[in-house]
Chain A
Amino acid sequence: MAFLEISDLRKRFGSLEILKGINLSLDKGGFLVLVGPSGCGKSTLLNSIAGLEPITSGDIRIDGRRVADLHPSKRDIAMVFQSYALYPNMTVEGNISFGMEMRKIPLAERKAAIERVSKVLQIGHLLDRKPGQLSGGQRQRVAMGRALVRDPKLFLFDEPLSNLDAKLRVDMRTEIKRLHDTTGTSMVYVTHDQVEAMTLATKIAVMRDGEVQQFGIPSEIYNNPTTIFVADFMGSPAMNLLPARVENTGGSVSVVLARADGDELRLAVGEEKGKLLLRGPTPNLIVGIRPEALTDPAGADRHAKNVVEAECQIEVVEPAGSDTFAVTRLAGKDVVARLRGDALVHAGQKTFLAFNMDKAVFFDPATERRIA
């Protein structure tokens, strides 16, 4: 049985259903990231696990124990809040020890615990300060210290990095990952940032409108999205999603995309996927190609079995140092290709691009679900 089990969790405010039957599970020591756009219910789900919001129906188990009816402090969990929620009237030490004080842990033990945690997070020199005298990153550390000192079974993080500036955010992200590796505690982490989700998670749940769209390990979410929403949400720049038509010409199956000049671009798909597409419900579908699967021929994946090269008109070039992003137009949409950093392309030029069709995914436009 999994360490954290959420089964058929529902939450309703009047007639409005905010969580529509959530099923998730996490193994001991795992890192579950709930990701989705704002209003998708991810924070509500986290608060439900924490016990800060009552649930309408369903069950939550932590380490085999039902916690749905328990007070937050009795669930053996700790939480790091988005605003850090440090008590402004107490020193750092007071903040960290408050929970232990409430649970009547003897002073000597409290001191030892504070020392242990402040060593891990390197906040020993801050213990006498008030939260108002700390920088954003230091507050973040103290908030983590307050959670860590309880030695909980489960850590909850509610968008902990969203108040930090870009550089600090990357540093703290590494810090959290290191914390997870060293303590081995199970964690549940809410974010709307798909990069955070990919880098931190051992399991990702992509949420939308109170439902889990897809639940799996990061590479699976990234490479095999089951819906258009997941494909579009994960990855930056976003996956190119292009309307196309399936054609079977002489045993080889290909998808046909309209070019800007009225011509057609024909992309042969492999045998396996071709069969699935022909069996699919509709000849009109959506092709998804990630920018890194659409590159200059010299930079293409040499192990890929189905690479189609085609000449494309480049409209915009965005050099980003490590990569160069080139925008072309296909099927009435802007298509982003990710070329090598030193690829020689110019706006307005025609150049060959390599479509790695191994990595392409295909969706039914009506149901928005994956066909192949």
Chain B
Amino acid sequence: MTVLDMDVSDAKRMARMRVINRIVIYGLLGIFAVLYLMPLFVMLVTSFKTMDEIQGGNMLALPRSPTLDAWVKAWGQACVGLTCNGISGYFWNSIKMVVPAVAVSTVLGALNGYVLTKWRFRGHTLVFGLMLFACFIPFQSVLLPMATILGNITRFGITLRSTFGTSFGLGDPTANLAFVHVVYGLGFTTLFFRNYYAAFPDELIKAAQMDGAGFFQIFWRIMVPNSLPIIVVTVIYQFTNIWNDYLFASAYAGTGDAMPMTVALNNVVNTSTGVVEYNVNMAAAMIAALPTLIIYVVAGRYFVRGLMAGAVKG
């Protein structure tokens, strides 16, 4: 056997190995993708089936005659505890709580990041350290102190109502919940914006100062317009966290008309009268998951870009 022959057989073996590697990698990736998508698939097909078909059929089978009945019922007639008006009201509760909470925590986080990087003061590292520490505080340890604070706020709201005729929203469970999420989210949003703005050139701020722009003018005209990637990251992060939160929601707005989507969904599923309507439960769960899904699809491509920004310059 000549040297040349050996080279050829080596090359062949290498090529075969590469093909096998590819098959193994893509095979594994495929299997895990299917595994991860399975629950979503079951939820989707079940929500379009009738109860008869669910009781008699295969969980993975496609619906024989797809129907939106379960979705309509979940939205308008499903029983949450004792009231049977569907989950629509609770869906709007969540929206009313999430949108202001995300907006306020994002704006405050951006302001914090701006001050901590561009208007440094004595002890700014300590302040940032404490903000960072806030990210590691477990939900559970906040529950009781926060309940006390919310109780005080609510009492203050009642006082306001008896003097001025309105509580200015203080003590309203939705407002309370939004407040809790703003406070809890501030550590994260500050961290995001601080790291993003740390890589933001100081000379731009100096140039704007020379141009006569003030603190807020620089913030709104220079910083914010150049922060799209990190704003998207923060909004996605805050939106999914707050929307999906169950602990704070059940603790501070767990009963009555003000309960958010997550708590309502739990109550729909746990309502124990008659037959368990799997199709309605699945439809309700899908509705509950929809906003976060939409946010990811719409803004997701900025997400990775934003997470990378600041890590590498440019």
Contact = CB atoms under 8 A, between A and B. Distances in A.
A361 to B, nearest CB: 39
Contacts of B217: 102
Interface in A143-179: 146
B207 A81 contact: yes
B121 to A, nearest CB: 14
Contacts of A38: none
B213 interface: yes
Contacts of A52: 206, 209-210
B201 interface: yes
B203 A72 contact: no
B146 interface: no
A85 B212 contact: no
Contacts of A99: 210-212
B207 A85 contact: yes
A98 B208 contact: yes
Given A87-B222, A89-B226, A102-B217, A73 B204 contact: no
B274 interface: no
Nearest to B224: A89
B225 interface: yes
A79 B201 contact: no
Chain A interface residue number, banded: 20 to 34
B210 A79 contact: yes
Interface string A97-115: 0110011000000000000
Given A87-B222, A88-B226, A89-B225, A50 B203 contact: no
A299 to B, nearest CB: 47
Contacts of B206: 47, 50, 52, 72, 79, 81, 85
A23 interface: no
B201 A72 contact: no
Contacts of B203: 81-83, 85
Contact of B209 (A72, A82, A86, A88): A72
Contact of A83 (B201, B213, B222, B226): B201
Contacts of B210: 50, 52, 72-73, 77-79, 99
Interface string B161-203: 0000000000000000000000000000000000000000101
B75 to A, nearest CB: 41
A230 B293 CA distance: 67
Given A52-B206, A79-B207, A98-B208, A85 B213 contact: no
A98 B204 contact: no
Nearest to A87: B222
Contacts, number: 56
Q: For this complex, into which size category does the number of interface residues on chain B fall?
A: 10 to 19
Most chain-A Cβ atoms within 10 A of its Cβ — which of B201, B204, B210?
B210
Nearest to B227: A89
Given A83-B201, A89-B226, A102 B207 contact: no
B207 A73 contact: no
A216 B217 CA distance: 42
A98 B213 contact: yes
Contacts of A71: 209
B19 to A, nearest CB: 43
Contacts of A89: 222, 225-226
B204 A102 contact: no
Contacts of A102: 211-213, 217
Interface string B208-244: 1111110001000110011000000000000000000
A47 B206 CA distance: 10
A85 B212 CA distance: 15
Contacts of B201: 83, 85
Interface in A127-149: 146
A85 B206 CA distance: 8
A320 B108 CA distance: 61
A52 B206 CA distance: 7
B294 to A, nearest CB: 27
Interface string A57-97: 00000000000000111000111011101111100000000
A99 B210 CA distance: 8
B100 to A, nearest CB: 26
A158 to B, nearest CB: 8
Contacts of A81: 203, 206-207
Contacts of B207: 79, 81, 85-87, 146
B212 A87 contact: no
B212 A73 contact: yes
Nearest to B214: A102
B226 A103 contact: no
A102 B208 CA distance: 9
A191 to B, nearest CB: 17
B227 to A, nearest CB: 10
A278 to B, nearest CB: 54
Contacts of A73: 209-213
A71 B206 CA distance: 11
Given A83-B201, A85-B201, A85-B203, A103 B208 contact: no
A85 B207 CA distance: 7
B67 to A, nearest CB: 50
B242 to A, nearest CB: 29
A52 B201 CA distance: 15
A189 B290 CA distance: 59
A81 B207 CA distance: 8
A344 to B, nearest CB: 52
Nearest to A98: B211
A320 to B, nearest CB: 37
Which of B207, B208, B225, B226 gathers the greatest number of chain A CB atoms within 10 Å? B207
Contacts of B225: 89
Contacts of A77: 210
26 contacts: A50-B206, A50-B210, A52-B209, A72-B209, A73-B209, A73-B211, A73-B212, A73-B213, A78-B210, A79-B207, A79-B210, A85-B201, A85-B204, A85-B206, A85-B207, A87-B204, A87-B222, A87-B226, A89-B222, A98-B211, A98-B213, A98-B221, A102-B212, A102-B217, A103-B212, A146-B207
Interface of A: 47, 50, 52, 71-73, 77-79, 81-83, 85-89, 98-99, 102-103, 146
Interface of B: 201, 203-204, 206-213, 217, 221-222, 225-226
